[in-house]
Amino acid sequence: MKTVTDTDTCVVRRRASRPRADALRNRERIVTAAREMFVEFGPDVPLDEVARRAGVGNATLYRNFPDRAALTHEVVLAVTSRTTDRAEEAVAAESDPFAALSHFVHAAADERIGALCPLLSGSFDKNHPELLAERRRLEEAVEGLVERAMTAGRLRTDIAVGDVLVALSQLTRPLPGIACLDIDRFTHRHLQLFLDGLEAPARSVLPGSAATLEDLRRGH
C-alpha cells in the first residue's frame, strides 16, 4: 500500500511541476518574440502582435507582463545578461585578445544588442537595481575585452569601450522607420568591416575623441 501511495505522490508531483515548466517556456517565448519585434519595428510594437509572434494568447502575455514597461524591463534585462555571457564565453574560447573581441561583437549581434538603444528611451525604470547591476556586469566584461586587445597591441589605441558599444547598437538594428526583416544578411558583413577598422595598426586618424562609458551614461 505504501508503494502505491509513494508512486501516486510522485505522479502528482510531476503533474504539479508541468504547469510551472510550461509557464516558464511561455514567458521565455514572449521575451524572445518581444526582443525580435522591438528590433524590427521599434519599442512601440502592439503587445497583441508580440503575443501572436510568441504563439501565446493575450491573457498569457498580460499575466506575465501587465504592461509595456514590465515587458521592456524583462527584454532589456535578458539582452544585457545574455550579451555579458557571450563576452565571458569569448574570453574562454579565444586565446588571441582581438579574436576574442571579434567573437564577442558577432555574438552580441546575435543576441540583438541593438534592441537596447531604442528601448532605453522608453517609459520604464532604467535605474532599477537589477538593470544597473547587469549593465555594470556588461560594461566590465567589454572593458576587459578592449583592454586585453589594446594591451596586446592588437587594437588601435584611439578608441574606447563606448565606441564598440555605439557601433554595435548602430549596426545591429534597422534604420528608423524601415522594417528590414532580413537585416541579418548585412549585419555580420558590416560588423566585420567595423572590426577590420579597429585592428592595429590604425589605417587612419579618427576625428573627435573616443567614446567612453561615461559619455554613454551622460547621453542617457
Q: What is the tens place of the pLDDT at every residue in 79-100?
A: 999 999 999 999 999 999 999 9
Q: Is the pLDDT of residue 64 over 90?
A: yes
pLDDT at position 122, please? 64
pLDDT-derived band of residue 56, with 50, 70 and 90 as boundaries?
A: very high
**Pairwise CA distance, residues 80 & 106, whole Å:** 15
Assess whether pLDDT exceeds 90 at residue 11: no
Q: Does 36 score more than 80 pLDDT?
A: yes
Q: What is the pLDDT of residue 112?
A: 83
Q: Using pLDDT thresholds of 50, 70 and 90, give the confidence band for residue 31.
A: very high
Distance, CA of 149 to CA of 100 (rounded, Å): 8
Residue, of 201 and 41, whose pLDDT is higher: 201
What does the pLDDT read at residue 181?
55
- Contact (Cβ atoms closer than 8 angstroms) between residue 123 and residue 76: no
**23 φ, ψ (degrees, to nearest 5):** -65, -40
pTM of the entire predicted model? 0.80
More confident residue, 15 or 109: 109
Is the pLDDT assigned to residue 9 strictly greater than 70? Answer: no
Residue pLDDT, tens place only, 145-188: 999 999 999 999 999 999 998 888 888 876 655 555 566 678 88
d(CA 28, CA 3): 38
pLDDT at 219 exceeding the cut of 80 = no
What is the rounded CA–CA span in Å between residue 194 and residue 197? 5
Distance between CA 131 and CA 81 in Å, rounded?
9
